Amino acid sequence: MSTIPTALPQISWLRPKYLLFAAIGLMLAYVIPHDESFLVHPKDPMWQHYEPFKWWLLPHGIVGACALLLGPMQFSDRLRDHFRQFHRIVGRIYVAGVFVAAPLGFYIQYFQERMGDPRSFSVAAAVDAGLWMITTAIAMVFILKRKVQEHRQWMTRSFAVAIVFLEVRVIGGVTGLETLDTQANETIVWACLAFSILSADLVLQWQQLGHLPSVVRRHSPSSPERMLEAPLGNPAAFGCSPEGEFRPVEARRAF
């Protein structure tokens, strides 16, 4: 039989990372004016709430913002291939940001517990911080062992946990649940944490589907179907060339 090439459609704009960047951009465009506008309004009443722990909030906010803004750059193939040193520097900044922002975030929530928030909210903050640090640490261990594929997978999971910060604020604001009691906001946090790793693995699976070959060969001369057509009792009917193709070879006589 002849080779029948079957072209599979390539939809470049549906690549997961492009959709991820678009989603992060939309979430930032919503969260900055909706939740962080107090930063440019000194008389905003929100400052009174942050006053007791503002010096803990400052480093948490700065390094957390660095991790959120620099994280997507780590998924750029072009940047990684052409500017490897810059890719490593950004990666180190991201890792440092995680190991500063995560524990500070938990401590700030524990501080707010002493101001009246429930203990369960502190537990949610601890789980969030723990997941972020653990996924990042595993990614770092893999790259130190030069296992690039596993490193990329765990970095994807790490960043999925990182954007829980944005997802909680977007869901709470869009649905209006943020105006309810603390229990409603805590439910959003747990829901986003529960789906963070799952969403990362969905992205990874989608990427693997996108790496399928664009041409599928059916019944080619070197296919298993043709190999089965070799005469029985003649195992030397086919040999393997250096290029990996099976070709007929002469059977040698035994003397």
Query: According to the model, what pLDDT value does residue 210 have?
Result: 61
Instruction: Give the structural domain span for 240.
Output: 219-248
Query: According to the model, what pLDDT value does residue 239 have?
Result: 46
Query: According to the model, what pLDDT value does residue 103 have?
Result: 94
Query: According to the model, what pLDDT value does residue 130 have?
Result: 95
Query: According to the model, what pLDDT value does residue 135 have?
Result: 95
User: Taking phi first (over 0 means left), then psi (-120 to 50 degrees means alpha), and beta for anything else, what does residue 238 get?
Assistant: beta
**If DSSP codes are grouped into helix, strand and coil, which group holds residue 15?**
coil
Task: Let me know if residue 255 belongs to a domain.
Answer: no
Residues 203 and 233 placed together within one structural domain of the fold:
no
Task: Let me know if residue 74 belongs to a domain.
Answer: yes
Task: Let me know if residue 78 belongs to a domain.
Answer: yes
Query: According to the model, what pLDDT value does residue 236 have?
Result: 46
User: Taking phi first (over 0 means left), then psi (-120 to 50 degrees means alpha), and beta for anything else, what does residue 181 get?
Assistant: beta
Query: According to the model, what pLDDT value does residue 232 have?
Result: 44
Comparing CA positions, the residue from 123, 122, 70, 131 lying closest to residue 96 is 70
**If DSSP codes are grouped into helix, strand and coil, which group holds residue 83?**
coil
Give the pTM. 0.70
Mean pLDDT (10-residue bins), the chain, 255 residues:
47 62 86 80 78 84 86 80 88 93 91 83 92 95 92 91 91 87 86 88 76 44 44 45 47 43
Residues 113 and 17 placed together within one structural domain of the fold:
yes
Comparing CA positions, the residue from 184, 185, 98 lying closest to residue 133 is 98
Q: What whole-number distance in Å separates Cα of residue 216 and Cα of residue 238? A: 23
Task: Let me know if residue 1 belongs to a domain.
Answer: no
Task: Let me know if residue 253 belongs to a domain.
Answer: no
Q: What whole-number distance in Å separates Cα of residue 39 and Cα of residue 41? A: 6
Q: What whole-number distance in Å separates Cα of residue 195 and Cα of residue 140? A: 23
Q: Exposed/middle/buried for 30, CB within 10 Å: 0-12, 13-18, 19+?
A: middle
Residues 206 and 224 placed together within one structural domain of the fold:
no
Q: Per DSSP, what are the bridge partners of residue 215?
A: 7
Residues 117 and 243 placed together within one structural domain of the fold:
no
Written as one string, the DSSP assignment of 170-190 is HHHHHHSGGGS-HHHHHHHHH
Q: Per DSSP, what are the bridge partners of residue 60?
A: none
Comparing CA positions, the residue from 245, 212, 250 lying closest to residue 226 is 245
Task: Let me know if residue 254 belongs to a domain.
Answer: no
Residues 243 and 184 placed together within one structural domain of the fold:
no
Query: According to the model, what pLDDT value does residue 222 have?
Result: 47
Residues 132 and 234 placed together within one structural domain of the fold:
no
Task: Let me know if residue 201 belongs to a domain.
Answer: yes
Looking at the 3D structure of the chain, how many domains does it have? Answer: 2
Query: According to the model, what pLDDT value does residue 14 have?
Result: 55
Query: According to the model, what pLDDT value does residue 211 have?
Result: 55
DSSP H helices in 36-147: 46-50, 54-70, 77-82, 84-113, 119-144
